[in-house]
Amino acid sequence: MDSKKEVKSLSDLPIMPSTIGTMAWNQTGDWRYLTPVVADKLAPCAQNCPAGVPVTDLVNALRNERVQSGSTMLLAHNPLPGLTSRLCYHPCQSKCVRRKIDRAISIQQIERFFADTGMNVTVEKNSKTDKKVAVIGSGPLGLSCAFYLGCWGCQVVVVDPRDHAGGALVDLSPEKVDPQLLVDEIRRLVNLADIKLETGFAVDFDKPGEAVSEADLVILDSTGLPEDFSAPGGVVPLSPFDDETTDSRIIAAKLPPNLKPFKAPMIAHYVGAGRLMARKAFDGLVMSSEQPGIAASNRHVSRKMVNVEDIKIERFSSPDTAGRENAKPGIWDLERARHEAENCLSCGTCNLCLQCVSSCPDATIRLDEDETAVTVDLDHCKGCGICAYECPRGVITMETVST
Partner 1 sequence: MPQGGNYDGDGKHMKKVMMGTEAAALAAKLARVQVVSAYPITPQTVIVENLSDIIGRSELKARYITVESEHSAMACCVGASLAGARAFTASSSHGLAYMHEMLHYAAGARVPVVMVNCNRGVGPPWNLYCDHTDSLAQRDTGWTQYYCADAQDVLDAILIAYNVAEQALLPVMINMDAFYLTHTSELVDMPDQHLVDDFLPPYKPSNKLDVDDPKTFGNVCGADLFASVKYRRHCDVLSLEKVWDRTATDFCERFNRLHPTVEAFQTEDADVCVTGIGTAGGAIRLAVDRLREEGLKVGGLRLAMMRPFPRERFKEAIANVRHLIVIDRDVSFGAEGIVAQELKAVLFDRREDLKLTGFIAGVGGKDLAVETIVSLVKQAILGDGTAVEAGSSFWTDVLP
Partner 2 sequence: MKEDARHKRELFTPGHYGCPGCGATLAMRHTLGALGEDTIVVMPAGCWSTLIGIYPYSCLTVPVVSVAFASTAAVAAGIKAGLSVQGNDHTTVLAWAGDGGTFDIGMQALSGVAERNDDIIFICYDNEAYMNTGVQRCSATPAGAWTSTTPDSAPKAQRKKNIVEIVAAHRVPYAATASIGSPKDLEGKLKKAQAIRGLRFIHLFASCPTGWGHSSELTVEVARQAVQSRIFPLYEVFDGTIWQLSPMPEKTGVGAYLKCQRRFKKTLAEDHLHFQMQVDEDWQRLLDKCRPENSEAQGVGCWYEKSAMQET
Nearer residue to partner 2 within complex by CB, 257 or 361 = 361
Nearer residue to partner 2 within complex by CB, 194 or 379 = 379
Element (DSSP H or E) covering residue 398? strand 396-399
* Total residues interacting with partner 1, rule: CB under 8 A: 10
Element (DSSP H or E) covering residue 279? helix 267-286
The stretch among 125-133, 229-237, 283-291, 376-384 that binds partner 2 (CB under 8 A) is 376-384
Q: Does 313 bind partner 2 (CB under 8 A)?
A: no
Q: Is 234 exposed, middle or buried (0-12, 13-18, 19+ CB in 10 A)?
A: exposed
Residue 111, C-beta contacts closer than 8 angstroms, at least 6 positions apart: 53, 58, 74, 81, 84, 85
Binder of residue 233, out of partner 1, partner 2, none (CB less than 5 to 8 A by kind): none
Backbone angles phi, psi at 278, to 5 degrees: -60, -40
Q: Does 19 bind partner 1 (CB under 8 A)?
A: yes
Q: Does 27 bind partner 2 (CB under 8 A)?
A: yes
Closest CA to 31 of 381, 319, 289, 325: 381
Looking at the DSSP bridge assignments, the partners of residue 197 are 158
Q: Does 232 bind partner 1 (CB under 8 A)?
A: no
Backbone angles phi, psi at 389, to 5 degrees: -70, -40
Residue from 231, 308, 334, 398 that binds partner 2 (CB under 8 A)?
398
Residue from 1, 13, 183, 296 that binds partner 1 (CB under 8 A)?
13
Q: Does 361 bind partner 2 (CB under 8 A)?
A: yes
Q: Does 37 bind partner 2 (CB under 8 A)?
A: no
Q: How far apart are CA 26 and CA 1, in angstroms?
A: 10
Nearer residue to partner 2 within complex by CB, 28 or 291 = 28
Q: Which residues bind partner 1 (CB under 8 A)?
A: 7, 10, 13-20
Q: Which residues bind partner 2 (CB under 8 A)?
A: 4-5, 7, 13-14, 17-28, 31-32, 358-364, 377, 379-380, 382-386, 388-390, 398
